[in-house]
Amino acid sequence: MLELTGVSRSFGDVRALDGVSFSVGRGRLTGFVGGNGAGKTTAMRIILGVLSADAGSVSIDGRPLDAATRRTFGYMPEERGLYPRMKVAEQLAYLARLHGFDRAGAERRARELLTRLDLAPRADDRLDTLSLGNQQRAQIAAALVHEPSLLVLDEPFSGLDPIAVDTVVNVLSERAHAGAPVLFSSHQLDVVERLCDDVVIIAGGRIVAAGDREELRAQYSEPRHRLRAPGAVDWLAGVPGVVVIERSEGEVLFEADDAAAQRVLTEAVARGPVAEFSPVRPSLAEIFREVIRDEAPRTATGTAVAA
Amino acid sequence: MSAPTSTTSPARLALLVAEREVTTQLRSRAFVVSTIILLVGILAGIVVGSVLSKRDTSPATGSATQRVAVVPATAGDLQGLPGFTAVPVADDAAARAAVQDGTVAAALLPGTPVRVVGRDGPPGALVAALTRAPAVEVLNPAAQSEAVRYLVPFAFGMVFLIVVMVFGQTIAQNTIIEKQTRVVEVLLAAVPARVLMAGKVAGSSVLALGQAAAMALVALLGLKLTGQDHLISLVGAPVGWFVVFFVVGFVLFAAMFAAAASLVSRVEDSGPVIMPITILGLIPFYLVIYGSGSPVLMRVLSYVPFSAVMGMPVRIYLGDAAWWEPVASLVVLAATTAGVVALAALVYERSVLRTGARVRLGEVLGRRATA
C-alpha cells in the first residue's frame, strides 16, 4: 500500500499541498479527483520523486520510498512527453532499459505491450507520425513498459475514444490484479465512478474526501429514497416521519430515516406491486460539488492568511 | 513481479543516456552531412595550402639541389638522398654558423635521433627525405614566417571552436526539446537529473572527440598525400597536448550549454541564454590567434581555463612553455571544469522541470535559501 502522510509543498507563496494524507491500496484502482490547480499533479510528482516535498512522507508498505523503489514505478505525466522523432518501439525499449531491463527483455516487452494496446502496426513508425489518440496509447505504454510495481497516471483517458478507454482500462486492471497500486487522476468523473474502487478528492491542496467509492456515496447520501409503484402513491405523504420531495405519476422521491423508510416499504407492498424501492445515492459528480463547496470558504481564509 | 531488480548504477544509466545521444546523432542526416562537409573542407584546405606554398618556395629549398652542412659523423647520412649536396664542415658550431649566414640551407648534426638545423624555419625537404624523423632545431624561431605563426593557433582554435559550437548547440537544443516535449518528466521518473545531464554531456563528448579525431586523421592524410609529412613530426607534441586539453575543455563547455538550455522551455528562447557561452568561446579564439605574437598575453591565455585549450598547445608549438606548464594549466582547467560541472548540474536539476517563462539563474541558485 502506498501512503502519503502530511505531505506539504509550496511554490514561492503558493501552498500547492497542505498536509495531504491518503493511501492507495494494492490491487485497487484509485481515482484522484480535483479541480484545476487543486494539487493533483504536484502530489503525483512527489510520489514519483520528480519533485521533493517540503514536509511529510511517502511510504510503501510502511517503508519510506527510496530512489531504487521509485524506479520500479510507472508514470504518465499530465504533460505528454516522448521523443517525437524516435520510433515508438525503440523509445519504449529505451525507457524499459532505463528502468533496469536488459536490451533483449526491453525490446520484447515493448513489442508485447504495443500488441496489447493495438499499436503493433505502428511500432516502427516515428512517434510524431502517429495520430494524437495513438500517441496517447504510446504514452500509456511508456508508463507500463517496465512492468511497474506501482502506477501513477495523470489524466490517462483524456483524448481517448471509448474503445481505447476500454483497452487502457483492461491493461490498468491487469496491473492492479498483479498487485500494483494504481492511482490515476481524471476530470471525467463518470469514468472515475465507473472504474475506480477508491476515490480521493483534493481541493485547494487539501484532501477533502477519501475512501471506498461506495462508502463515500453512502456517507454523502442524504436519507432519501425512491419508490416506484404503478398505483397511486398519494398515501405516502401521511406516513409519519416522511417528507415528500418530488412526486410524479407512479414515482415518488422522499426523505425519511431508516425506520420510516421501512414502514413505507411495508405499506407499499401491502397496497400492491412495487417496481422499485431504493436509497438514493449521489453520483460522484454530486459528491464532488458538495465537498468542493464545503471546502471553498476554508481555502479562501487559508489563502488570505498565507498572502 | 517479473520486473528486474533495480540495482542499475548511476554510471550504467548515464551510459544508456549517452548511448542514445550518440546513436540518435549518428542517425541524423544533418550531422552526418555537416561532418562530411567539414572533413572535405579540411582536406581541400591542406591541398590548396600545399599548392600555394610550393609556388613561393625560395630557390635554396627548391627543386635544385639543396646544400646541407654535415660534420664528419653525419657525412654518411646524406649519401643516397637525391637532391642534397653535402657541404662538410669541421664541427657543430661551424655547421650552425653556415646555416646562420645562409651558405647552406640546413645542417645535419649527430644525435639520437639525428638533429636537423634550419635558420628561420624547419628545413622541410630534408626532414621529409630522412627515413627516420629527426629532431628539428630552428636557429631564429622568431623569424618563422607569419603564415605559420598564425596557421597553427588558427588550426587549434578553429577545431575547438567548430566542435564546441556545433555540439554545444546540439546539446542545448536536445535539452530544450526534452523540456519542450515534456519527455524529461518521464525520464526523471527513472533517472536522476544529474545522471541525465552527465549522460548527455558524456555522449556529446564522445561524438565531439570522434569528430575532432576524424578531422585530425583527415589532416594527417592530407599532409601525407601532399608530401608535407615533415609537418606531422613538428606538431606531434602540441597535438597530443591539444587532445588532452580538448577533452577536458569540451566537457567544460558542454556542461555550461546543458545548464543554460535547461533555463528555457522553447527552442525559440534559447538565444539569450546560449549567447554568453558562445562569447566565452569566441573571445579566447580571437585572442589566441591575434595574440600569438605576444608572449605575455599567450602566457595568460594558456592558463585561463576558457582559452587554455587553444593557448597552451600553441605555446608548446612555439616552444616557449616549460615542461610543467601544460600540466599546471591542465590542473587549473580540470579543477574549473569540475566546479562548473557541479554548478551546472545544480542549475539543471532545479530548472529542468520548470516550464513556461525563462528561469532566472540567480533564482535557481538562490532557491534553497528562500524555499
d(CA B111, CA B71): 12
Structural contact between residues A157 and A194, judged by C-beta atoms closer than 8 angstroms: no
Q: What is the CA radius of gyration of chain B?
A: 26
d(CA A245, CA B201): 70
Per-residue pLDDT tens, chain B, 371 aa: give them.
Answer: 444 444 578 888 999 999 999 998 898 888 899 889 989 988 888 888 777 765 544 444 445 577 888 888 887 777 777 778 888 888 888 888 888 888 888 888 887 778 888 877 777 777 777 777 777 777 776 555 556 667 777 888 888 888 898 889 889 998 998 888 888 888 888 888 889 999 999 999 999 889 888 888 888 888 788 777 766 766 777 788 888 899 999 999 999 999 999 888 888 888 889 999 999 989 988 888 887 778 888 899 899 998 898 888 888 887 778 889 999 999 999 999 999 999 988 888 888 777 667 777 777 776 543 33
Complex ipTM: 0.72
Contacts of A95 in chain B (CB under 8 A): 186-187, 190
CA angle A162, A163, A166 (to 5 degrees): 90
Write out the H or E segment, with its range, that includes residue A218.
Answer: helix A213-220
Please name the residue of chain A whose CA is at the shortest distance from the CA of residue B190. A71
Interface touch A71/B183, C-beta < 8 Å: no
Report the DSSP beta bridge partners of residue A20.
A7
> Does residue B5 lie within any of the structural domains?
no
Report the DSSP beta bridge partners of residue B136.
B116
Cell of B337: 571544469
d(CA B41, CA B51): 15
> Does residue B281 lie within any of the structural domains?
yes
Q: Which residues contact residue A213 at a Cβ distance below 8 angstroms, ignoring those fewer than 6 apart?
A: A31, A193, A196, A197, A198, A199, A284
Cell of B39: 572533413
Please give, rounded to a whole number of angstroms, the shortest distance from the CA of B224 to a CA of chain A.
41
Task: Convert the pLDDT of each residue in A45-61 to its tens digit.
Answer: 899 887 888 999 999 99
Of B145, B173, B199, the position where a domain reaches its end is B145
Please give, rounded to a whole number of angstroms, the shortest distance from the CA of B157 to a CA of chain A.
34
Structural contact between residues A56 and A4, judged by C-beta atoms closer than 8 angstroms: yes
Of B145, B180, B200, the position where a domain reaches its end is B145
Please name the residue of chain B whose CA is at the shortest distance from the CA of residue A44. B189
Instruction: Name the amino acid, one letter, at A18.
Output: D
Please name the residue of chain A whose CA is at the shortest distance from the CA of residue B175. A83
> Does residue B371 lie within any of the structural domains?
no
Both B66 and B199 in one domain: the answer is no
Interface touch B192/A83, C-beta < 8 Å: no
Both B132 and B175 in one domain: the answer is no
In chain A, what are the helix, strand and coil shares in percent, each to the nearest 5? 40, 25, 30
Both B245 and B297 in one domain: the answer is yes
Query: C-alpha dihedral over B263, B268, B274, B276, to 10 degrees?
Result: -100
Mutate to test the interface with A, among B9, B178, B183 (most CBs of A within 10 A): B183
d(CA A173, CA A94): 25
SS3 at position A140: helix
Both B138 and B190 in one domain: the answer is no
Interface touch B189/A148, C-beta < 8 Å: no
> Does residue B232 lie within any of the structural domains?
yes
Both B347 and B223 in one domain: the answer is yes
A81 → closest Cβ in B4, B183, B190: B183
Mutate to test the interface with B, among A66, A71, A109 (most CBs of B within 10 A): A71
d(CA A191, CA A65): 30
Both B18 and B68 in one domain: the answer is no
Both B273 and B168 in one domain: the answer is yes
User: Most distant CA pair in chain B: distance in Å?
Assistant: 88
> Does residue B322 lie within any of the structural domains?
yes
Task: Convert the pLDDT of each residue in A181-237 to its tens digit.
Answer: 999 998 888 888 888 899 999 988 899 888 888 888 888 777 788 888 887 777 887
Chain A segment 162-221 residues within 8 A of B by beta carbon are: 178-180
Both B219 and B166 in one domain: the answer is yes
Count how many domains chain B has.
Answer: 2
In chain A the first and final C-alpha atoms are separated, in Å, by 36
Please name the residue of chain B whose CA is at the shortest distance from the CA of residue A49. B189
Task: Give the number of other CB atoms < 10 A from CB of residue A156.
Answer: 25
DSSP state string for B30-74: HHHHHHHHHHHHHHHHHHHHHHHHHHT--GGGSSSPEEEEE-GGG
Say whether residue A247 is in contact with chain B using an 8 A CB cutoff. Answer: no
Of B111, B126, B145, the position where a domain reaches its end is B145
d(CA B257, CA B170): 9
Domain coverage including residue B75: 59-145
Both B81 and B20 in one domain: the answer is no
Contacts of B189 in chain A (CB under 8 A): 48-50, 70-71, 73, 75
DSSP state of B119: S
Structural contact between residues A30 and A181, judged by C-beta atoms closer than 8 angstroms: yes
> Does residue B128 lie within any of the structural domains?
yes
Chain A segment 76-105 residues within 8 A of B by beta carbon are: 76-77, 79-86, 94-95, 97-102, 105
Structural contact between residues A31 and A195, judged by C-beta atoms closer than 8 angstroms: yes
> Does residue B33 lie within any of the structural domains?
yes
> Does residue B2 lie within any of the structural domains?
no
Please give, rounded to a whole number of angstroms, the shortest distance from the CA of B226 to a CA of chain A.
43
Chain A segment 103-162 residues within 8 A of B by beta carbon are: 105, 142-143, 146-149
Structural contact between residues A30 and A199, judged by C-beta atoms closer than 8 angstroms: yes
Both B14 and B77 in one domain: the answer is no
Both B247 and B200 in one domain: the answer is yes
Structural contact between residues B90 and B71, judged by C-beta atoms closer than 8 angstroms: yes
Contacts of B13 in chain A (CB under 8 A): 98
Both B113 and B156 in one domain: the answer is no
